[in-house]
Chains A and B, each alone.
Chain A
Amino acid sequence: MQVSINGKSHELAGADPDMPLLWALRDLVGLVGTKYGCGVAQCGACTVWLDDVPIRSCQMPLGAIKDRAVTTIEGLAGDILHPVQEAWIAHDVAQCGYCQAGQIMSAAALLKSNPNPSSEAIEGAMAGNICRCGTYSRIVAAIQTASTRLQGLSFYEVGHDTTESQFDGKVSV
């Protein structure tokens, strides 16, 4: 079985077609940024994109993917961070950080389809992603910052150097 993940084709020989994409990513491909939280599409920690649409990978059997392209948190940034990832750092969103890959994939998908979302649109797009640590207000602030950065620019044109030494470690407020 061939699956396209982050622009690269992966041969998953002999894989169980029932296996959810989540576990294939984690155990077969070695991309563990996508997280297991509930296994029943309740928490959103496993959110990835299938042809740019955010889905819960715990509910997507390998056999149903066919020729659709998978994008995971590891594939969101190229050499530079995606503006949503940058904003997540700048607002110091994470506490434990476990849900944040899923949050970021949902937020980036939202901004791709709606670069200037209203508060209601943000609430609607993010309602499926649980943050048990309760970082919701920072998530909203980070999405708004990323939105500002993205408007008028094509999706991957924006970004900063990702080396940690470029970053002064201070939180923007």
Chain B
Amino acid sequence: MSTGAVHGLKRRDFIRYSSFGLALGSGGISVVATAKTSAPANLLNPYVVIHDDGRIVIAAPNPDVGQGVNTALPMIVAEELDADWKAVEVILAPIDANRFGAQFAGGSLSVRNRWNELRQMGAAAREMILRSAAQQWGVPRVELTTQPSMVLHPPSGRSASFAEFVAAATEQPVPADGEVVLKARSDYRLLGQRIVNAAASDIVRGRPIFGIDVSVPEMLYATYVKCPQIGGVPKTANLAEVKGLAGILDAFIIAGDAGPPSFDLSKSIHVAGGVAIVASNTWAAIKARRTLKVEWDISSASTDDSAAIEAKALKAAERATGEREVKNSGDPEAAFANAKRVLSSVYATDFISHAQLEPQSCVAHTTATAVEVWTSSQTPGYAQATLAKLFELPAEAITVHQVRGGGGFGRRLSNEYVREAAVISKHMGKPVKLQWMREDDMAFDFYRSPAYFGLQAALSESGELTGWRNHVVSVSSDGEEANYGAGYRGYNFPDDVIPNVHISQTMLASKTPTGAWRAPISNVYAFAEQSFLHELAEAAGQEHREFLMAALGEDKWFKPDDLASLNTVRAREVIAAVTRAAGWGRGLPEGRGLGLGFFFSHAGHVAEVAEVSVNADKQVTVHEVWVAADLGQIVNLSGAENQFQGSVVDGVSALADQRISIRSGAIEQTNFHQYPLLRLPQSPKINVEFLASDYPPSGAGEPALPPVAPAICNAVYAACGERIRSLPISRAGFQVV
């Protein structure tokens, strides 16, 4: 355990700080940025510790799975604290709702939800330092100001480091919200700059900072084998034979819960039945899987067949209205009856998998009275709550340590692997690291729901879009309520802009688990709607950009002061910016085309233009992608830009050839040779422009993903004249090269 940060701690702060310090290495593990000083520590509030030697430790509250919040969130605190970023050390906060509120990574919400809180925390700590400086120097507080990590008294020219005052500052009462003044944006030193990821130094050195790297004393290594037909449970297995293998400590059946799991994050205590193999190292456990033979009870298992689901869905989507009406505004019947032209198209998207590069792992230590886990969960609070429920223990008996995750994209929102590890540990009476194989990850994901869109539009004599119907066909595990990510996304363009709109849904029964995949719902709607709008522009004989601008209607912020609602002014600005940057309208050689897509999601207005070429063999080269976005103020320019570049790559990756198919309830793909991820040679040049914006910041992890597919598919149409209406585009014979 790294004890540096707690050495010399004042007694009265010990309880609070020792729990703050849990993330510094309890149990002997190493985590990001352990405190590098033994100087006495002074706790100013749950987020800020300043050591007597001037080092500033800031707690990062939310899990980081690559979205950069372990840098962005501490930057917000540091800005208002006026900390010298070079002296700041980031640690991962313990999971404790009392001090850190809701600690999760999802919905691109970390920055948006914590913006006010973290500015207040930084400013309050600064105020406490300034008040103690005023007392020490015997000057009025109002005469004091700060420079990074320094207190200044301009009338006397006196200055001193924060470190001079921090011990006394801990005695100051915590200022109330109204007692501190937040910085004017023009005074920012840090926010909006390009700041290197706080974990970069550890990452390039290969330091043990990921979930898979966690190691605790006496830890055993486990693998867990589940029924390929999702929801099946073990009847018998050749356990004696497996237990006789070298390095194997135990092999046992966990009866578990029969039937597929649901994406019920806050409540689910589902543990799939399976066979645990526990060994003295990971390889011995993996190797033993070759010997293991299990007879499965498949009476409650899924019998899904994705080809059958698709056939039903495509038939259903031919109808412009479905079983359940979710929106009916204006008079769509009249709009379609009076239309000069009516166009219909069906768009289709498949099941896809998250394929985050770090397969799930969890270290758990379960005793009769307590559970301690180390996990890269995106919802550590739910991990805590569901473990308490599963083991019938009070919440205080469950300790969850957050650890950096090697990618998330929604996969780590569910905690079933955490429960599996805890159950296996309980059986062994020792700490256990459960390691999922890549094949486990691909076979037992919560997949993105497939969605099929029966779209219909009414165009007036002048080519104006007057009516819109969307019949969304997707999946439901109970045949009634849409699965997560399969429903209607509400508030957006075009549904709330066009005067006459009818939206309906039809749900097909499916037992395959589905859940949130980066920009859930938006990632499929954007493809269908923004491609169809391009079709409409073509049909109306109008230029795409102009048609889109006109379709956005009047200048309107649909729910003023709600950042999560569409603002058509911001929408038009990003479309104008991206088309300007891309040289929209310029001449291109034969076989080359530009395509445009816009989408509003996660409080971000984003427009993208793709430039592609398509050859006679339907090979698609994505040359360049331009992105323009209004995300409000930018917290970390480097981090936000990285998220956007990555979203474009992810978008191309998913649309190229990613597809999960299901036969007899089992997933057919097993590893990356059957589920390809985009590689460096296929990766386009990407240009990102964030528009200057005074709105509060919103998250960068998701909103750049949805416009990628329509921008590229519209560009393919421009290049070769073929309209792509299903994803991945490999299904229509296209190949991204």
Contacts and interface: CB of A to CB of B under 8 A. Distances in A.
B283 A165 contact: no
A90 B194 CA distance: 11
Contacts of A39: 286, 437-439, 671
Contact of B213 (A28, A32, A130): A32
Contacts of A8: none
B688 to A, nearest CB: 10
Contacts of A26: 282
B210 A20 contact: no
Contact-size category for B: 35 or more
Interface stretch (B154-162, B474-482, B541-549, B642-650): B642-650
Contacts of B201: 89, 162, 164, 167
Interface string A21-37: 00110111011111111
Contacts of A36: 212, 359, 435
Contacts of B200: 88-89, 92-94, 97
Interface in B469-528: none
Nearest to B408: A96
A34 B645 contact: no
B205 A73 contact: yes
Interface residues of A, number: 70
B671 A95 contact: no
B283 A16 contact: yes
A118 interface: no
B86 interface: yes
B194 A95 contact: no
B438 A37 contact: yes
B300 interface: no
B683 A136 contact: yes
Contacts of A98: 66, 210, 357-358, 406-407
Contacts of B213: 32
B272 to A, nearest CB: 21
A133 interface: yes
A152 B638 CA distance: 31
A66 to B, nearest CB: 19
Nearest to B405: A96
Interface stretch (B123-131, B447-455, B592-600, B673-681): B673-681
Interface in B659-704: 671-673, 677-681, 683, 685-686
Contacts of B270: none
Contacts of B195: 92, 169-171
Interface in A153-173: 162, 164-165, 167-171, 173
Nearest to B677: A130
Nearest to A101: B206
Interface of A: 16, 18-20, 23-24, 26-28, 30-40, 42-43, 45, 72-74, 77, 81, 85, 88-90, 92-101, 104, 122-124, 126-140, 162, 164-165, 167-171, 173
11 contacts: A19-B283, A31-B206, A88-B204, A89-B196, A92-B638, A95-B66, A97-B197, A101-B206, A124-B681, A129-B680, A165-B87
